[in-house]
Amino acid sequence: MQQIARDDQDDRRLPVSRRGAARSAPRRDSGQERILTTRVGLKIPVGLPYDRWQKAGAHIFQIADSSAWCLGDWMVYGQERYADRYQTGVQAAGLDYQTLRNYAWVARHFELWRRREELSFGHHAEVTSLPPAEADAWLDRAEQHGWSRNQLRAQLRQSRQGNRAVSAPERASLPRISAPSDRVERWREAASRMERDFEEWILVALDRAAAHEIGP
């Protein structure tokens, strides 16, 4: 795994494994500087070999993907344990409430033992609205075929289109509704953050509301 060191001060460039110990000068790795992290980004040495750059990207993705799960679990715990105070905790931590709600929605639907380490948080988000057995089946296929999140989404879309074609005579039209433009734009932003089509996001949101009121 690519090691990325944390650079907390401009005048210190210590590898992670050596931080905290007093050293006069950092040791170079085969004559090349390490990639350093700061609070606002990376310091990447000039001439970094491609393989090290690639491994660093994979490592950063793993950290980001893990943080989505961790924040989701944190949010779920707060909702269940501190129902009257968890929003205050979110604000105090400086986190985006809507983003955390999205993370929590996925985390709540996947117990730890059902989460696939070989698949991303985004893979799981794509199948969150499905019944558990069906969601697991799709994740199995994604894992077996090495599908990216976008490939899984495409496969799901094709499956839904096929099901719609078979059940077309049973489809019902929703009543036309009007809503203030600011609310519509808020809905579109939420759909965009979840990387879903607006119509698909609306259907998922309605399914969630129905499940909350009458159960799965």
What is the pLDDT averaged over residues 68-72?
93
- What DSSP letter does each residue of 87-135 carry, written as one string? HHHHHHTT--HHHHHHHHHHHHHS-GGG--TTS-HHHHHHTTTS-HHHH
Alpha helix (H) residue ranges in the chain: 50-81, 86-92, 97-109, 121-126, 132-145, 149-166, 181-193, 198-214
Q: What's the confidence (pLDDT) of residue 142?
A: 94
**Banded pLDDT at 174 (limits 50, 70, 90):** low
What is the pLDDT averaged over residues 54-78?
91
When the pLDDT of each residue in the chain is averaged and rounded to a whole number, the result is: 78
pLDDT for residue 162 is more than 80: no
pLDDT for residue 18 is more than 50: no
pTM over 0.75: no
pLDDT tens digits for 177-201? 777 777 777 777 777 766 666 677 7
